[in-house]
Structure 1
Amino acid sequence: MTEPFSRRALLIAGVSVAATAATGACAQTARPSSDLSVYKSPTCGCCGAWVAHMTGAGFQARTIEVADPGAVRRDRGVPDSLAACHTAVIEGYVLEGHVPAEDVRRLLAERPDALGLAVPAMPLGSPGMEVPDGRREAYETLLILKGGGTRVFARHV
């Protein structure tokens, strides 16, 4: 004959199940893709600051120094009008310039039919372009559509 569960045993079992589920959910949402490849010039310092922003946000980045980062951009179909100082690739999407980590997370969650994201022209205050006095320029993260067009993906002030 089996003994019925006591309230204490049921409570402990319930808490264990809830804790296990919560841990799995946190691990799943907190872990961005580790497949971030960043193509940059060996002499660019702000690119390293952007990589630090991304790794600080939980991404694992692999930096590849290339003589002409523009060649990577062009090979990925990103128009020169969206050029910045580095190009990154993650899960098939291209990231041109100082794209904030939260925009990359949103891109990966929504999975639009697009080439990727761009923050052209290295705006002051964007990730990796911070200055000691805290000055910032308003800027937009652009969704790069297939064919080279764009639309605003996010606004940052």
Structure 2
Amino acid sequence: MYFAASDYRLYRTFPMTLRTTILAGFAAASLSILGSPLHAQSAKAELTVYKSPQCGCCTKWADHMDDNGFDSTAINRHDMATLKASLGVPSGLQSCHTGQVKDYVFEGHIPADVVKRFLENPPEDAYGLAVPGMPIGSPGMKMGTRHQDYDVILLKRSGKHEVYTRVSQHSAP
């Protein structure tokens, strides 16, 4: 194989060494990962919201979650009690809707920032969170400036549930 003089000049101007090839590969890979919409920092967690077809506050809670970095899909169910039992939500800690991200359960009007904190570092033995009832002022239950302080309960596989955090008027979203 013969090279023309112009080919030799091009090679001398842009020599492709092994080091240059590796660096170019790393640069291309980094740009493709960082520029991807699936990059971990920008990806929205997929949230399934199970709710009764007539419930308006459930839709407002799902909107709150969407506004705060989640991608929710609402599924209307007529058998909510059966669903909650199958997901392990204790009857005394139930609310009107149930959310699910991967294998974690989120029962009731839990603020998005609390769900995010839980998902970033799930406590050992935990399978979800619950806000029993429908506290006034919680996401989806806004009533002007009124606010009721409430606890977010940590659901544990051992059955020994405990307070995960308290939401007060000063800490409310």
Higher normalized contact order (CA 8 Å, seq sep 6+, divided by chain length):
1
Q: Does the C-alpha gap of structure 1 residues 30 and 125 become closer, same or farther in structure 2, counting only changes over 3 Å? A: farther
1:49 aligns with 2:60: yes
1:82 aligns with 2:88: no
Map of 1:31 onto structure 2? 43
Moved over 6 A (4+): 20-24
RMSD of aligned alpha carbons: 2.5
Map of 1:94 onto structure 2? 105
Map of 1:144 onto structure 2? 155
CA distance in 1, matches of 2:50, 2:81: 9
CA distance in 1, matches of 2:44, 2:118: 11
CA distance in 2, matches of 1:89, 1:31: 17
1:64 aligns with 2:64: no
Q: Percent identity?
A: 41
Report the TM-score, using the length of structure 2 for normalisation.
0.72
Whichever of the two has the greater Rg, that structure is 2
CA distance in 2, matches of 1:57, 1:65: 22
Matched AA of 2:118: L
CA distance in 2, matches of 1:135, 1:59: 26
1:123 aligns with 2:135: yes
Displacement after TM superposition at 1:147 (Å): 3.5
* Unmatched tracts of structure 2, length 5 or more: 1-11, 14-30, 169-173
Map of 2:8 onto structure 1? none
